[in-house]
Amino acid sequence: MKSFFSLLLTLSTCLYFSQSKTKIYIIGNIHDSVPNYHPKILFSILEKVQPDIILHEVDSEGMKEYESDKSLKGNEITASNLYKLKFPGTLRFPFDFENRNQYRKDTGMVPTDNLAVKLIDSLYKAKKLAPSEVKIYENYLGTTQDLMKIAELSPENFNKPATDKISEKRQNAQYSGLLKIVEGRSEFVKKFVVKPNGEKISYKDGFTLMSGFWDLRNQTMAKNIYKIAENYPGKKIVILTGFLHRYYLIKELKRINNGTYVIKEFYD
C-alpha cells in the first residue's frame, strides 16, 4: 500500500511539473493572404491554442509599426490583432534579429543575394553551368517547387515534421548548394553593387554573407524566444514565423532547452 501511494505521488508530481512548464507553439505561416490560408484561419488556430503571449517575426521597430499602423494586412498581424481584441490581456513581443533589414542593406547582403540567384538562373537557362552546377541548381528548384505545392494545402500540412525536413533541404540547397556555384565562378566576383556607405561589394561576397546570416538570424531568434520563455514561466507562447524558419527554430530551441519549456503543435 505504501509503495502504491509513493507511485501515485510520483505520477502526480510529474503531471504537475509537465502542466506547469511553458508551452511553445511554433506556427509556420504564409505571410500574405491566399485562399487556403488567410487571417480568419490563423485566428481560429489562435483561438484554439489560446496563447498568453504571441511573438512576431519582426524587430522592435517592426513591432511598433505592427501596433500603430492599422493599414497592415498580413496574415500574422491581422489575426493577432483580432485575437488581442478578443483577449486584451494577451502580450505581444518581437523576436527577430534586431535591425534586420537595415543590417542586410548596410552589409551588402541585399540586393546581392537575389541578384546572385538571378545570375545563376540566367546561366542555367543559357546552358552555361557545368553538369555538377546544373544538379545543384535543379535540386534547389525541385525542393522549392515541392514546398510551393505544400503551401497550397491546409496549415497542418506546412506545419509538420515531414515538411520541416523539406524546408531544411531547400534552405541548405540555397545557402550551401548555390553558394558552391557562386564561389566557383568568376561572374560573381566581377559583378558588384554599391552599399549605402559607397563601398562596392561583389555578388560573391554579398551572397556569402547572406548564407552565413541565415544561421545567425535563426539562432538569434531562438535565443530571443528562449529569453521570453524564461521570463514568463508556465505560459502558452505562440511564435508566428514564416514556415521556412520552423525547422531551424524547433531544432535550435530543443538544443538550448534546459527543461523550461515543451514544444507543441497547434493541431495536437
Encode pLDDT of 228-255 as tens digits.
999 999 999 999 999 999 999 999 999 9
Q: What is the pLDDT of residue 106?
A: 98
The pLDDT tens digits of the residues spanning 58-89 come to 999 999 998 888 888 899 999 999 999 999 99
Whether residue 8 has pLDDT greater than 90: no
Q: Give the C-alpha separation, 261 to 239, whole Å.
A: 13
Structure-block grid coordinates of residue 161: 515534421
Amino acid at 181: I
Cβ–Cβ < 8 Å for 170, 244: yes
Helix ranges, the chain (H) = 2-20, 39-49, 60-68, 75-86, 100-107, 109-125, 131-150, 161-172, 178-184, 187-190, 203-231, 246-256
